[in-house]
A and B are shown apart, each in its own frame.
Chain A
Amino acid sequence: MDWSSPLLLSLRVSLCATALTGVVGIGGAWVIARTSLPGRRALELSATLPIVLPPTVLGYYLLVALGRNSPIGEAWESLFGQPLVFTWQGAVVAASVASLPYCLRTARAAISDVDVRYEQAARTMGLPEWRIALQVTLPLARRGVLAGLALAFARALGDFGTTLMVAGNIPGRTQTMPIAIYDAVQAGNDHRALYLSAVLSIVALSVLAAVTLLERRPA
């Protein structure tokens, strides 16, 4: 029974999605919490949409936005020679968008909680803003930021509806663990469904345990 290829694919997709979401989410969180950029509230709201929208609706929007007839889809296809939809890269985009709000909101709350006086003190010592953000704000907010990343990873690992719409169900290419489980259930292959579910549960629990340990350890 082949369980390693959906698992490896799931890990690859969710790790890449977490990396992508981490950069956009933490960056966005800092912009929203620490700058006076106009429209930053609207930005936060729109980044929260994936929590509210049903995954299939989100997937459908992404399919329209990234599909072969969309400007993004066309640009991608002319750059890389293949469509973005129905590839594992498409699955990464789907999982990233679905997990973005979890990372962004958690990180935003953590950054907002950092006492601005530390940052002001750093400013009086002449540190440039980007170093204040990286060396003062982020370290002080690290617990929340890490928790946000962990949530994003968990959400990406478990994503089903959005990924299915954007990347389809192709064994060995876009069939992530949740989709492989769905496929096994649909095909009436109960043993495989149970087995894959158990593997995914163990992986998810281990990741959660690892993150909890990491968080508890003093820096």
Chain B
Amino acid sequence: MTRSVTPARAAVALALALLAVAVTASALGVRSAPSVTASSGDEILVAGASDLQFAFEELGEAFTEATGDDVTFTFGSSGQLATQIVNGAPFHLFASANVGFVDEVIASGEGVASTKQTYAFGRIVVWSPKKRYGSLEALLDPKIRFIAIANPEHAPYGVAAQQALEDAGIYERVKSKLVYGENIADTLRLVKSGNADVGIVALSLAIVSGGRFWEIPPSRYEPLEQALVVTSTGQRGVVAQRFASFVMSEAGRRVMRRYGFFLPGERRGT
């Protein structure tokens, strides 16, 4: 009898050990999270469209320096981020690539309507690592096997790309060559990695990625009106509003301009 008890105890001990490790790891994780970001201020979570990746990371650092509040970003396609927010994702600010998704979030009750603001207008380019394609018609080149655009189902930049192709009257002819990125950063990656020959991506990403690009005239697609909205009440909501104001400030606009965004009130080329 006593001999059969030993392995049972071993099993129980193992289970307890596993639980102890889980609890320890849990405690470690809880403690390590704040210590990673060693600042005294609040931390806000910002859901941002993928085209904002580089511009917003720079803005986030400048904001933390200026205010002591931390900003953590999750970048993705605006449609997917909007769905997550509607389903309860704990973001404090939503910066969309399209005003439509901001309206959706407000309609669901998750966004504070009075904080809705247009902060930029996006621009799209034909991008390729080596060869420069100087027109949309150049995409008809038979040597091109795949053309990457963002998924128009949920990525505003994909919608704009499709509109431009339709406007040029070549959408039906290139349709079979289209491959879809999850969001605009993913679209750029498809081309950068060589898996697609050319892509239609955000100027804000092309600017920092090298390669060769040609800007598609803004008259060929509906304006990519990028709007933001605060998605939280209380203290975090206040900080989120502060970050939104920072984006809209002169310092913020300088950064956004540098990444190739048109700004509200000074839009050209339409």
Contacts and interface: CB of A to CB of B under 8 A. Distances in A.
B25 A8 contact: yes
Contacts, number: 116
Contact of A22 (B7, B18, B53, B87): B18
Given A86-B90, A171-B73, A2 B36 contact: yes
B19 A19 contact: yes
A150 to B, nearest CB: 11
Contacts of B38: none
Contact of B84 (A82, A86, A145): A86
Contact of B7 (A83, A171, A172, A219): A219
A152 B155 CA distance: 35
A170 B72 contact: yes
B25 A11 contact: yes
Nearest to B32: A8
A16 B25 CA distance: 9
The range of chain B's interface size is: 35 or more
B28 interface: yes
A7 B29 CA distance: 9
A201 interface: no
Interface stretch (A47-55, A97-105, A131-139): A131-139
Contacts of B90: 82-83, 86-87, 170, 173
Contacts of B32: 4-5, 8
Given A18-B18, A186-B186, A188-B188, A85 B209 contact: no
A106 B177 CA distance: 46
A142 B12 CA distance: 11
A148 B75 CA distance: 36
B45 interface: yes
Given A5-B33, A134-B8, A170-B74, A67 B18 contact: no
Contacts of A149: 18
Contacts of A68: 87-88
Interface string A123-151: 00100000000111011001001100100
B87 A85 contact: yes
A7 B203 CA distance: 34
Q: Which 5 A-B pairs have the closest CB atoms?
A: A15-B22, A139-B7, A83-B88, A86-B89, A68-B88
10 contacts: A2-B36, A5-B36, A11-B25, A12-B26, A19-B15, A73-B88, A86-B90, A168-B89, A172-B37, A188-B188
Interface of B: 1, 4-8, 10-12, 14-15, 18-19, 21-22, 25-26, 28-29, 32-33, 36-37, 45, 50, 53, 72-76, 84, 87-91, 182-183, 185-186, 188-189, 192, 209
Interface of A: 2, 4-5, 8-9, 11-12, 15-16, 18-19, 22, 63, 67-68, 73, 82-83, 85-88, 125, 134-136, 138-139, 142, 145-146, 149, 168-173, 183, 185-188, 219
